Structure 1
Amino acid sequence: MKKLFPSLVAVKKIVSAVPSSNFAQPDLEKLARLILNLGGLINPIIVRRTGMDSYEIVDGNFEFYAAARAKEIEPFKGETIGAFILEPENEELLLAQLEILRSGAVSESRGESATPEESSITESVGENPVSEPPSSFEQRLINIEARLENEINELKAEHAREKQVLAERIQEVENLFSQQLPLLIEAGLDRRIERLKLESEAAKPPAVELESVTPSLSGSMPLLEALNTQDKAQLKASLEATTFLKAPVIQLILKERDVRPFVSFANVVERIKGLTDKTMIKIIDYWQNTHKL
């Protein structure tokens, strides 16, 4: 077991089931001043966790209320109090020690001078003071702080829920974008090829007219159809004759068409590494010029 050391606990995080009116206010005031002058409490209290960051008094109610009064006097100097926190590994031993200390304190307070009547009164009353309805300023302050703590926790939970909803919406947008992106790229590439085709047409002599991006040649196989169905040896020879394509690019075209047919010239450019849209335009022009009737 680890050695027992007191921890510093925020006074506002602690609540007590015993009202401060059970203790003499002058004594609380005097101890609060001594706590501030000394810079702390020499007798740590004992607390039990009631939440992630909240505690209740097990022993040391008087000291706690004095610390709460010190915090009222000088908030920045009296924010924390030394406390032993009951944990699963030390609770049994701590409570056993506390019981012995309480018994010793009661015996010492009785002493030999105690009369039978006083002993009888002590035994009948017991160790715990009679509880009275909390009415002091300190108790009201503690109740207010507890309510504020609950409201803060609710706001944190609401913030976490809103954050989760936002994350789900962002994920939906990302999924939609990933689905639409290939289509957008395809459409954009088609537009670029069309634009380059138009620019190429404008740069040629007026007598030379190019047909549409997908050639329809009388008596000759269209280029896109040839890329998909023409005999490989014949297609390879035709592509080599263009002088625009390197051997690895031609080999990749022949390989990719076996995977799945090309659906458009933009699809060819997208799938064939090393093939640009400008080169694709040149191939289209070459095919048109060499396959005319």
Structure 2
Amino acid sequence: MSLLTSSIDLDMIAPPLTESQLQFPASEIDHLAQLFLQVGDTVRPIILRRISPISFEILEGYFEYYAAMKAQEIDDQFTAIRAYVVPPDRELAILSQYQFLRSLSTPLANEKTDSLPITPSERQSDLEKIEQTIEQTIERTIANRLDQKIAATIERIVEEKIGSSFQAMTKQITNQITQQLDIHLSEIKRSLLLTPVTPPVAPPINQIIESSAPPVETILESVTKKPSKSTRTNQPKTRSSGSSPTKSAIKESDPKVIEVLRELNTLNFGDLEYKLLKSRSKKFARPIYELRLQQPDQKFQSILDITKVEGIAEKTILKIIAAW
């Protein structure tokens, strides 16, 4: 807060103690009162403290106050005096400054008193110098206070601007990230909805067995090729479920055959149909599945049991095994 002067009515200033007036010669009070009337006010403001909304108390400037009261007695148009009304939190600092400046002017006054009488013009000159010094000090103080106030205001404005800009930038970045995440999640959901459900693939061991199995043509050639005499002689005779002997190229102990038999007994209808599709035997999926349901306890004991389905012969079984 800047220290500014105000014109205060003399009636609003509480009179000091009567004894304080005795410190100043009456002639000097009369002389200063005449100077007040010539100028219209004092060149050195007095210092006041507010004691109520309509009254003030003198802190410094008793001599000027008595001279102003004397000027009012001489001319009733002189009703006010210029003063500093100090705030309570700065009262001590202002009084210290005032007393320090007054102490600087005291040796000069004592020196002149000891040597020669002080003329009114010299006294006025001293007063002007003191007033000038006070004014300069006050101006410097006001300038420093003003600089501090401006610096604090600028700093506060900068902090507010930076804070608001940071909040806006953070909010914008958060919104952008949220929008991007929403877009990605929507794309993922859409892709999951559009992706068809693929049937389960065979375990890796089946792929190894399938890769090592001979091609279908080789198996068919071995089936259709007539065995030699020695082979027919040495080959043991096997019997099927019927009474007549049959010749079979299917080895029940083959891991491939065991795997096919196991899955024929356990796969659901959809997977079974998919497996038979590879050997172009998809049409047998339904009758094989229904035949399996008719004997749930026994199921297929041998791979040749599926020949009970109409249209499936051993040649068909070999194609199924090769393509499985």
Which category of TM-score, normalised to the shorter sequence, fits these structures? 0.3 to 0.5
TM-score (norm 1): 0.35
TM-score (norm 2): 0.32
Structure with greater helix share of residues: 2
